[in-house]
């Protein structure tokens, strides 16, 4: 397991550099990430580079035995560049041109900015590409953070060009978008503008394509820097980018495709404070974790999502070390938190954890953001945890040397996420909430799933969960058909097959392209308001007998089994959950939006049918299995008990235990 730290030599007097580098090394740090916001110091005026300070900082770190991870500084273009070319600044959804003075102040489609980005990237690569201590590169910083979708004149033109490449003709676009609605038919490509600033809600097909275009814009912008680096660095140096996994404005499957591996930035307390409402049901009781540990299910969900982007290990490029500055309470962090977070990240598939940051900043927006060391250079709380991790490094390496088994795949499709986001139909029907229910059900049974693209390698999974395939095409239908035909257990969820990939409702009976696959039809669907329930009976053991939130009445074909039926008006006698043999596998359709206890019962049924061993994990405990070892992590303030087939164990509060078969 590699440990690193984010360092900002440009923020500190050079007299501190050598001491900092030595203390990092003594604490077990081996990788130092630098330069992601240092453009103004590298290039003080156009074409006038100052590398001396960066040369000396790299040599200081290298002399202390560190490997260097360099970042391209394009997330914060300098003032001289914006003054010379103000049209680089992005335009927001309200039509306002944003100003210089923070970060992410650029349009990803601006051609002038493309050229300057290539120049600074190429200049850095030419200077440091052959440096023996430079191991890799991070492109920009956190695409999707603060600003994703620009609405400037350049983006309008580029969107029109993007559409012309996608559609064979304007007639095809009008047909696929359904522009006949509200007399929106276009007579020329130049009439098509971004969807913002309309009087009423815009055409959802138009909006979805703009979301796709905006996502592609970042992927293309990233590729400009990938190409500039590859031309000037050896193949031994990697290229990555650090996403924020809980943000959904960019298709991270596309973004990660041409990277050597994906990285993400993990801030457990901040995501728990700011993100719980986005991923738990509004009336759901959130487990009572220790106040300074965040939510391990939330954190684990994003670790798992990141691992699934390339179905490979990932890096944590920024990891919380103490209190942060951008959340609601910005809770103080007690000893032990950093240790527990690091073990969880490593067990879930992180090959490296890079801590943010070495020393707390004395100026700028992040003055209240803790580092491993305080503003005066003295050790902060996270530093003691770092020393503990150094002492445990062999134990950690031995644990993660064991294979991680992921028998269940959960499909994540950003197009469907965006379509659902703009037309949820029912308040709080959110794509990620739906996926999170099934993720938690897996974790409650001791199963580590993968969260993956429909285009991923599905052959490695015994069970494939597709909780929400709201949009579908023949390709996806065939992929899912093949998975089941070849022996896999497939589960489809509510609202599947409702729309085509143009965000237009199917002409076929629901679930559209999946009717034959599931062996049933959706004859009616109801959004259920709070406190309204439809009663059920089910042969699935311990299945909670009420549908809430969303319910679909299914008419099963001959040969399709009903696993649950409605028992009262208006869906009486209709199926709620069906199961059909398909080729060498089977297909289950879950026609209700399940509560966690229902998703857990359904998952237990599916796992048992595939003879996959399960555990019963108590609330507050997170368990990850590597080979024949279990890592049981307690994120609560009380001791917890875990029963396994090979013994009973007590796990202390805010601590972990390694269990061997």
Contacts of 575 (CB under 8 A, 6+ apart): 520, 553, 554, 555, 556, 562, 563, 564, 565, 566, 591
Residue 391's pLDDT is what? 97
Measured distance CA(152)–CA(625) in Å, rounded: 49
Q: Using the 8-state DSSP alphabet, how is residue 197 labeled?
A: T
Assess contact for 76 and 103: CB atoms under 8 A.
Answer: yes
| Residues of the chain above pLDDT 90, percent | 98
Measured distance CA(458)–CA(483) in Å, rounded: 7
- H or E segment at 629? strand 629-634
Residue 432's pLDDT is what? 97
Q: What is the mean pLDDT of the chain?
A: 97
CA-based nearest residue to 423, from 208, 619, 614, 654 = 208
pLDDT digit string (tens) for 90-137? 999 999 999 999 999 999 999 999 999 999 999 999 999 999 999 999
Q: Is the pLDDT reported for residue 283 higher than 90?
A: no
**142 is annotated as an active-site residue:** yes
- Tell me the three-class secondary structure of 317-345, residue by residue: EEEECCCCCCCCCCCCCCCCHHHHHHHHH
Tokens of 252: 């991270």
Torsion of CA 500, 501, 502, 507, to 10 degrees: -10
- In the chain, CATH 3.20.20.80 sits at 2-152+214-400
Q: Is the pLDDT reported for residue 661 higher than 90?
A: no
Cα angle vertex 480, ends 449, 453, to 5°?
50
Residue 496's pLDDT is what? 98
Which of the four pLDDT bands, split at 50, 70 and 90, describes residue 86? Answer: very high
Assess contact for 536 and 543: CB atoms under 8 A.
Answer: yes
Measured distance CA(69)–CA(353) in Å, rounded: 13
Q: Using the 8-state DSSP alphabet, how is residue 9 labeled?
A: G
Please name the residue ranges forming H helices in 3-65: 17-26, 39-42, 52-63
pLDDT digit string (tens) for 402-439? 999 999 999 999 999 999 999 999 999 999 999 999 99
Q: Average pLDDT of 320-335? A: 96
11 sits in the region (left: phi over 0; alpha: psi -120 to 50; else beta) called alpha
pLDDT digit string (tens) for 488-544? 999 999 999 999 999 999 999 999 999 999 999 999 999 999 999 999 999 999 999
Residue 460's pLDDT is what? 96
pLDDT digit string (tens) for 171-201? 999 999 999 999 999 999 999 999 999 999 9
- H or E segment at 138? strand 134-138
Measured distance CA(66)–CA(481) in Å, rounded: 50
Omega of the bond leading into 470 within 30 degrees of 0 (cis):
no
Residue 286's pLDDT is what? 87
Tokens of 264: 């993400």
Measured distance CA(251)–CA(414) in Å, rounded: 6
Assess contact for 560 and 520: CB atoms under 8 A.
Answer: yes
Class of domain 2-152+214-400: alpha beta
Residue 121's pLDDT is what? 98
Assess contact for 617 and 445: CB atoms under 8 A.
Answer: yes
CATH of domain 408-609: 3.40.50.880
Residue 277's pLDDT is what? 86
* Cα–Cα separations (whole angstroms), residue 172 to 11, 164, 194: 55, 10, 19
Q: Is the pLDDT reported for residue 281 higher than 90?
A: no
pLDDT digit string (tens) for 595-650? 999 999 999 999 999 999 999 999 999 999 999 999 999 999 999 999 998 899 99
Q: Average pLDDT of 244-270? A: 97
Contacts of 588 (CB under 8 A, 6+ apart): 489, 490, 491, 492, 563, 577, 578, 579, 580, 602, 606
User: Which SS3 state, helix, strand or coil, does residue 401 take?
Assistant: coil
Cα angle vertex 531, ends 529, 535, to 5°?
95
* Cα–Cα separations (whole angstroms), residue 397 to 305, 348, 405, 654: 22, 13, 17, 21
* Beta carbons within 10 angstroms of residue 176's beta carbon: 17
- Determine which one of 36, 43, 142, 273 is catalytic: 142
Measured distance CA(409)–CA(447) in Å, rounded: 11
Which of the four pLDDT bands, split at 50, 70 and 90, describes residue 466? Answer: very high
Q: Average pLDDT of 349-376? A: 96
CA-based nearest residue to 325, from 385, 361, 282, 366 = 366
Tokens of 65: 């035995």
CA-based nearest residue to 348, from 315, 321, 322, 317 = 315
Which of the four pLDDT bands, split at 50, 70 and 90, describes residue 162? Answer: very high
- In the chain, CATH 3.40.50.880 sits at 408-609
Which of the four pLDDT bands, split at 50, 70 and 90, describes residue 582? Answer: very high
- Determine which one of 36, 158, 273, 318 is catalytic: 318
């Amino acid at each position: 397991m590699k440990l690193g730290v984010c360092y900002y030599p440009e923020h500190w007097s050079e007299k501190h550099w050598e001491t900092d580098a030595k203390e990092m090394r003594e604490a077990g740090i081996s990788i130092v990430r630098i330069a992601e916001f240092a453009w103004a110091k590298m290039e003080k005026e156009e074409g006038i580079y100052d590398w001396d300070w960066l040369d000396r900082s790299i040599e200081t770190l290298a002399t202390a035995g560190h490997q260097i991870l360099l970042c391209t500084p394009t997330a914060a273009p300098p003032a001289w560049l914006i003054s010379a070319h103000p049209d680089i600044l992005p335009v927001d959804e309200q039509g306002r041109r944003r100003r210089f003075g923070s970060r992410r102040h650029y349009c990803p489609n601006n051609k002038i900015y493309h050229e300057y980005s290539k120049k600074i990237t190429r200049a850095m690569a030419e200077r440091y590409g052959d440096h023996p201590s430079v191991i890799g590169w991070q492109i920009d910083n956190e695409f999707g953070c603060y600003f994703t979708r620009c609405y400037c004149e350049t983006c309008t033109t580029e969107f029109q060009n993007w559409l012309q490449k996608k559609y064979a003709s304007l007639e095809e676009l009008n047909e696929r978008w359904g522009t006949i609605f509200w007399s929106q038919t276009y007579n020329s490509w130049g009439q098509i503008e971004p969807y913002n600033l309309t009087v009423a809600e815009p055409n959802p097909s138009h909006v979805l394509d703009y979301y796709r275009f905006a996502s592609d814009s970042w992927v293309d912008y990233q590729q400009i820097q990938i190409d500039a680096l590859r031309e000037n660095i050896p193949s031994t140096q990697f290229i990555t980018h650090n996403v924020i996994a809980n943000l959904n404005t960019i298709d991270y499957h596309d973004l990660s495709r041409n990277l050597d591996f994906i990285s993400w930035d993990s801030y457990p307390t901040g995501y728990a404070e700011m993100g719980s409402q986005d991923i738990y049901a509004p009336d759901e009781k959130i487990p009572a974790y220790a106040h300074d540990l965040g939510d391990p299910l939330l954190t684990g969900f994003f670790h798992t999502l990141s691992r699934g982007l390339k179905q490979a290990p990932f890096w944590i490029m920024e990891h919380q070390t103490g209190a942060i500055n951008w959340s609601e309470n910005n809770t103080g962090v007690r000893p032990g938190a950093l240790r527990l977070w690091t073990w969880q990240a490593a067990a879930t598939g992180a090959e490296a954890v890079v801590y943010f940051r070495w020393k707390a900043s004395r100026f700028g927006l992040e003055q209240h953001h803790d580092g491993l060391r305080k503003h005066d250079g003295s050790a902060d709380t996270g530093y003691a945890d770092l020393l503990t991790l150094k002492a445990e490094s062999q134990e950690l390496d031995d644990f993660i040397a064991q294979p991680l088994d992921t028998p269940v795949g959960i499909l994540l499709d950003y197009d469907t996420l965006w379509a659902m986001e703009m037309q949820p139909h029912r308040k709080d029907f959110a794509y990620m909430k739906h996926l999170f229910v099934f993720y938690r059900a897996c974790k409650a049974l001791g199963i580590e799933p993968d969260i993956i693209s429909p285009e991923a390698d599905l052959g490695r999974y015994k069970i494939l969960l597709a909780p929400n395939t709201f949009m579908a095409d023949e390709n996806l239908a065939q992929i899912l058909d093949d998975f089941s035909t070849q022996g896999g257990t497939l589960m489809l969820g509510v609202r599947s097959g409702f729309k085509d990939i143009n965000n237009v409702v199917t002409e076929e009976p629901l679930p559209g392209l999946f009717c034959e696959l599931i062996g049933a039809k959706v004859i009616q669907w109801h959004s259920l308001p709070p406190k309204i329930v439809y009663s059920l009976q089910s042969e699935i053991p311990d299945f909670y007998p009420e549908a809430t939130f969303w319910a679909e009445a299914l008419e099963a074909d001959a040969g399709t089994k009903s696993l649950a039926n409605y028992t009262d008006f208006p869906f009486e006698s209709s199926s709620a959950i069906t199961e059909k043999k398909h080729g060498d596998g089977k297909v289950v359709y879950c026609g209700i939006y399940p509560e966690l206890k229902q998703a857990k019962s359904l998952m237990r049924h599916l796992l048992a049918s595939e003879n996959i061993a399960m555990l019963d994990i108590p609330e507050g405990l997170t368990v990850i299995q590597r080979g024949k070892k279990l890592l049981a992590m307690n994120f609560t303030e009380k001791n917890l008990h875990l029963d396994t087939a090979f013994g009973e164990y007590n796990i202390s509060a805010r601590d972990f235990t390694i269990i061997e078969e």
